[in-house]
Amino acid sequence: MKHHTLSCILGLACSSMALGQVDPPLIPQPERLEWTQGRFDLTGTTIAIYKLELRDEAEFLQAGLRSVGIDADIEQVHRGMGKVVALGLAPNKGLKPEGYELTIVPEGAGLYGTDEAGVFRGIQTFLQLLPPPGTASPAVPCAMISDQPRFGWRGMHLDVCRHFMPADFIKKYIDLLARYKMNTFHWHLTDDQGWRIEIKRYPRLTEVGAWRNGSMVGHYRDRQYDTLHYGGFYTQEEVKDIVAYAAKRHITVVPEIEMPGHAMAALAAYPELSCTGGPFDVERGWGVFDDVFCAGNDSVFAMLENVLTEVMTLFPGQYIHIGGDECPKERWKTCTKCQERMKANGLKDEHELQSHFIQRMEKFVNASGRKIIGWDEILEGGLAPNAAVMSWRGTEGGIAAAKQKHNVVMTPGSHCYFDHYQGDPAQEPLAIGGHTTVQKVYSFEPIPSELTAEEGQYILGAQGNVWTEYINTPEHVEYMAVPRMLALAEVLWSPKEKRNEKDFIARLLQEFPRLEAMGVNASKSIYQVETTIVRGNEPGRLTVGLSSPLGLDLMYTITRPPYSEQGRLGRYSQPLTIDADCEVQGFTMNNGSTGPIARKRFDFNWATAQAITCNPLPNERYDDGGPLTLVDGIHAGERRVNYEWLGWRSDVTITVHLSLGKMLTHVGIGALEEHSSWIHLPEQVVISTSLDGKTFAVQGTVKPEKDAQGNVHLGIDLKEVGAAAVRFEVKNTVRIPAGMAGAGNPAWLFLDEIEVR
């Protein structure tokens, strides 16, 4: 009976005539999709399963059909003559794990999966084809689909340490992952600001470590705190329930237990596991802290092994994430036990001590039949033999690991950090910084061009990360994750050659009402007007372009100082040319409704829109806008984003060529200090001028000082010095000093607008 029902459905599909239909909003886009004639009316439908292993999948489909008013029964063998959705396994179809074939004809639908997960992914496709709830006659379009994932690791991360999220929301988050065919949930469970998982053998981890006496409010640089007792944790029963819930959706939960750094919550509970003995408090603020697990203390390894034993009992997946990032070494340098450990094992420095720490933990995890994965810092000092690397500091760590034949999950901050701004920061909730739009996520390619085809096979996939320093509610998590999660889901599932940004956005817009119906607080920042700034045809002029990724009509205003009255409204048709102080506002217009306003305020000086060179060029992670960023008339705002600053990890020489000789009275450049992000002020700036653009005379050397508001402008006043060019030789802080976040690592240098008057 099994083969008869499914083969009849497939035969009917093959005889159908192609129908040029508009694509429904399938996200991610299937590998192969052919729309055929007609539709399958769901009224009176039965779900037939031919293997008991598919009972969970059938019940999931049944619940989805009930959401549109279809009360379908489940039968192990279809005995009636009514319409049927038949579910089966076909492991020899030549598709990867999680692959499926879905055929829909007017008489019914047949869904084969290479495995149970493949059937589930096909069900998600079928459910995305359902009409909105309340449709008079629910039906789905007829189609033939053959589909499989591009990557095996398609993940989303969630930090519940900085801000705790209730168990019910974790399930909702998992449902979102499942809808878009993601298969990995990376659960960040321990950090300096809270230990969030019950460990029976060490009750103080949650009695003490799960609670803090206040939290940072506002931006990190303001160092303001509330006094509220804050925290929470998941019992082991809650964890088991969530893991089982995810498993039914064929999602693996990867727990993260941070070590050897980011351990303040654990050390507050058990201070004897530190190098100094404490006492400690669970951290109220964000950042990186010097006190870490003592690498010379055997009790630390015994405790962590006991913790991981309980963790591995709760989480049956292959990988255990052990963190390994941002581990200061200052305490180890002065700790007798750590130094003895280094001597006994022939370790030349503290980086090798960290590698020794990670390798010891890996042996324990491997002995239990599991593998470790850690952030790319675990490469430092030597990579553990069987470890996988999660590359977050760009793609370099992933490239290095893949060349060493280690598995890699790509998650660079440039494209995969969903705690960054996604629209105009002035219109967005406060975020840590950065600027990662839906389109930027969609442009991400997980396999770097630097890898050979063989090396590229070690790229398991990628994931999006949601860190919650500035995200304290489930609704805010949804706003930051959705729709960027959808863009990443398509990057990881669909064939690279099928990706089309314009087509994806069209489907995304159709998905928004469905997300709203599901109660998901999705960001609509994609409606935000995008602004591009380039040098004009003549020196001293800028060309401002406005665009809508949705193709909507655009309106604009240009307002001049003193900005007390709004500028005249105009319909945007071509780039705007400006050459004096002004504010440009742009917004979309659609059926009488306006979108969010994009604002750019330009303050002109003699350097604005002039020719500029930087040697070397900015680091690729912080080069949005290129050198023009330093002379585009826009001062970096309070909400730092990439395109307002350029970043280096070296000294830099910057030269601005003035269009006409000028008599200068002031020259300067802006700089940023944000130690939590490893951003330090330069040691000094040497400022020179030139009459011919070739020979330069030093006018002065400036060391950084802050004004009353905490701003830094590295400048000098001059007595009408003639110049046709100005040069800034900026000396970066070579290494981050001891006692600060990232101590011993190269410091970041962030520079902003140049002023020449």
d(CA 192, CA 454): 39
* Mean pLDDT of all residues belonging to the chain: 92
Take residue 503 and report the two structure tokens written for it.
Answer: 């087509």
Distance from C-alpha of 14 to C-alpha of 270, rounded to nearest angstrom: 67
The model's confidence at residue 13, banded by pLDDT at 50, 70 and 90, is very low
Query: At residue 265, does pLDDT exceed 90?
Result: yes
190 vs 382, which has greater pLDDT? Answer: 190
Q: Tell me: pLDDT of 722 over 90.
A: yes
Exposure of 248 by Cβ count < 10 A (0-12 exposed, 13-18 middle, 19+ buried)? middle
Buried b or exposed e, range 40-57, using 16+ CB within 10 angstroms: bebeebbbbbbeeebebb
Give pLDDT, residue 425: 84
Confidence of residue 128 (pLDDT cuts 50, 70, 90): very high
Q: What is the pLDDT of residues 28-65, one digit of tens each?
A: 999 999 999 999 999 888 888 888 899 999 999 999 99
Confidence band of 82 (pLDDT split at 50, 70, 90): confident
pLDDT tens-digit series, residues 361-374: 999 999 999 999 99
Q: Give the H or E element holding residue 122.
A: helix 116-128
Regarding predicted confidence, which is higher, 640 or 180?
180
More confident residue, 505 or 17: 505
pLDDT score for 222: 79
pLDDT at residue 707 is higher than 90:
no
pLDDT of residue 643: 66
Residue 305: the pLDDT is: 98
pLDDT of residue 216: 96
| Pairing verdict, β 139-147 and 100-105 | antiparallel
> Once rounded to an integer, what is the mean pLDDT over residues 573-601?
90
Mean pLDDT over 398-427 rounds to 94
Q: Rounded mean pLDDT of 268-277?
A: 98
Instruction: Determine the pLDDT at residue 19.
Output: 28
3-state helix, strand, coil in the chain (%, to 5): 30, 30, 40
Query: For residue 215, which phi and psi values (nearest 5 degrees)?
Result: -140, 150
pLDDT of residue 708: 65
pLDDT at 369: 96
Provide the strand spans (E) within 536-651.
542-547, 553-559, 569-571, 576-578, 582-590, 593-594, 598-602, 611-615, 646-648
DSSP-derived secondary structure for 455-472: HHTTEEEEEEB---TT--
pLDDT at position 9 is 39
pLDDT of residue 17: 30
pLDDT at 639: 63
For the stretch 212-247, pLDDT in tens is 999 999 888 778 999 999 999 999 999 999 999 999
Kindly state the tokens that stand for 489. Answer: 């889901």
Active site residues: 191, 262, 326
**Confidence class for position 642, pLDDT limits 50, 70, 90:** low
pLDDT in tens, 608-631: 999 999 999 999 888 888 999 999
What pLDDT is recorded for position 10? 38
If we measure between CA atoms, which residue out of 23, 35, 51, 64 comes closest to residue 500?
23
What pLDDT band is residue 4 in, cutting at 50, 70 and 90?
Answer: very low
Say if residues 239 and 225 touch (Cβ distance below 8 Å).
no
CA dist list (Å): 593 to 34, 515, 527, 656: 36, 21, 11, 43
